[in-house]
Amino acid sequence: MDQDASNVKITPESFEHVEKGDTQSAEHISGPSLSFMQNVWIRFKSNKAAMISAVIIIVMVVIAFGSSFWINNSSLVKSAPQYANLPAKWKGFDWLNGLNGKIKQNGVWTDAYASVPAGKYFVAGTDYLGRSLAQRIIYGTKISLIVAVVAAFFDLAIGITYGIISGWKGGMTDNIMQRIIEIISSIPTLVIVVLMLVVLKPGITSIILALAISSWTTMARQIRAETLSLKNEEYVLAARSLGESTFKIATKHLIPNLSSIIIIQTMYTIPSAIFFEAFLSFIGIGISAPETSLGVLLNEGQKNFQFLPYQMWYPAAVLCVLMIAFNLLGDGLRDAFDPKGQR
């Protein structure tokens, strides 16, 4: 058989002519040409948890900040003793205990709205002063989101600038700047808040100042580490050799290539700031009455938790959903921007 194969002669007639169009179609790339951000969006859309989290966050932001048109400070602090400690009541849910205005007393479900005018009900119940828990939860969510936005602002304004300067300069400048970060990071944020209380009264101002002092250090470290590697890339060296200013190199070359780290770190900073505010308000050194936040509501609700658990469950559920949504969104953005780092 091998001998037969060796006796075969290859002639021009052994080849078949291929048309020009067939060659082009064989080499044609069928896949669409996508930019980096288009690839990121496709990968992000495939993450169902991140997409659902993004929708939840958008809805909560719209409700919280849109509430300014129908919730004011007077309605939040004005007490109505005749409606004190009413449970939640939803229209059309008379069959479901917990949402039908009934409360369990001595093992028996009784209608807490018996003495309330017809048509008057509260979807999340009321607190010990008769104030609507739903309105206070929505307003408290807005306060928590404001604190989160402020923390993200300091991350972007201070952390990025500080990290780029430290990584770009290098040498002694980098050493000094990193030692400053280590000193700031070694001081617990709680201690900074307590020091703020010496000068300022408890409230959102002291929390914002504490975040302004310490929240940006993680962002600065990550930006500095990436800048150290990016400044030796060929396109950066070419820009420097052409006489491009440091500011233009940072805005045109460094920041665009750092965008994934910036976005991801910001998404992780926001839930940390929300929890920090809630924790401070819960222990009584953050936002205090008559102002409200999720932490204040948790503090008030835990006092009556044994008899009126809904006063703590509702703000706790909103806080959990908010933090979980931001964390899942951060995970989705991380996987979308860096698919190689997926677990």
Task: Please indicate, yes or no, whether residues 136 and 227 belong to a single structural domain of this protein.
Answer: yes
Task: Please indicate, yes or no, whether residues 102 and 138 belong to a single structural domain of this protein.
Answer: no
For the chain, the domain total comes to 2
Whether residue 26 is contained in a domain is answered as no
Between CA 320 and CA 322 the distance in angstroms is: 5
Note the pLDDT of residue 51.
92
Task: Please indicate, yes or no, whether residues 213 and 103 belong to a single structural domain of this protein.
Answer: no
Task: Please indicate, yes or no, whether residues 183 and 273 belong to a single structural domain of this protein.
Answer: yes
Whether residue 264 is contained in a domain is answered as yes
* Whether 289 contacts 279, CB under 8 Å: no
Task: Please indicate, yes or no, whether residues 116 and 158 belong to a single structural domain of this protein.
Answer: no
Whether residue 44 is contained in a domain is answered as no
Task: Please indicate, yes or no, whether residues 135 and 202 belong to a single structural domain of this protein.
Answer: yes
* Whether 316 contacts 104, CB under 8 Å: no
DSSP notation for 163-217: HHHHHHH-HHHHHHHHHHHHHHHHS-HHHHHHHHHHHS-SSHHHHHHHHHHHTTH
Nearest Cα neighbor of 149 from 203, 226, 207 is 207
CA distances from 249 to 192, 226, 245, 261, 269 (A): 36, 14, 6, 18, 27
| Chain centre to alpha carbon of residue 327 | 6
Show Cβ contacts of residue 54 under 8 Å, excluding neighbours closer than 6 positions.
325, 329, 332
Please list the rounded mean pLDDT of every run of 10 residues in the chain (343 residues): 61 68 54 71 87 92 81 70 79 75 75 76 80 85 86 86 88 89 84 77 78 84 87 83 82 81 84 83 75 82 80 88 88 76 47
Task: Please indicate, yes or no, whether residues 96 and 240 belong to a single structural domain of this protein.
Answer: no
Task: Please indicate, yes or no, whether residues 95 and 170 belong to a single structural domain of this protein.
Answer: no
Whether residue 227 is contained in a domain is answered as yes
Note the pLDDT of residue 74.
67
Whether residue 35 is contained in a domain is answered as no
Nearest Cα neighbor of 80 from 135, 138, 139, 128 is 128
* Whether 224 contacts 182, CB under 8 Å: no
- What are 28-84's pLDDT values in tens digits? 555 566 676 778 788 888 889 989 999 999 998 898 888 777 776 666 767 777 877
Note the pLDDT of residue 340.
55
The residue whose two tokens read 């990584």 is: 167
3-class DSSP state of 126: strand
List, in sequence order, every residue forming a beta bridge with 269; answer none if it has no partner: none
Note the pLDDT of residue 59.
92
Which residue pairs from 66-70 have beta carbons closer than 8 angstroms and sit at least 24 positions apart in sequence? 67/135, 67/138, 67/139, 67/142, 68/142
Question: Of the candidates 96, 121, 146, which is a domain's last residue?
Answer: 121
Task: Please indicate, yes or no, whether residues 236 and 305 belong to a single structural domain of this protein.
Answer: yes
Whether residue 19 is contained in a domain is answered as no
Whole domain around residue 110: which residue ranges?
Answer: 87-121
Task: Please indicate, yes or no, whether residues 114 and 140 belong to a single structural domain of this protein.
Answer: no
* Whether 154 contacts 208, CB under 8 Å: no
Between CA 318 and CA 217 the distance in angstroms is: 28
- State the CATH number of the domain containing residue 205: 1.10.3720.10
Whether residue 5 is contained in a domain is answered as no
Note the pLDDT of residue 339.
56
Note the pLDDT of residue 21.
54
Task: Please indicate, yes or no, whether residues 303 and 169 belong to a single structural domain of this protein.
Answer: yes
> Where do the H-state alpha helices sit in the chain?
2-6, 20-27, 36-45, 48-66, 73-77, 133-154, 160-169, 171-186, 189-199, 204-214, 217-230, 234-241, 246-249, 255-283, 294-303, 310-337
Whether residue 9 is contained in a domain is answered as no
Task: Please indicate, yes or no, whether residues 104 and 161 belong to a single structural domain of this protein.
Answer: no
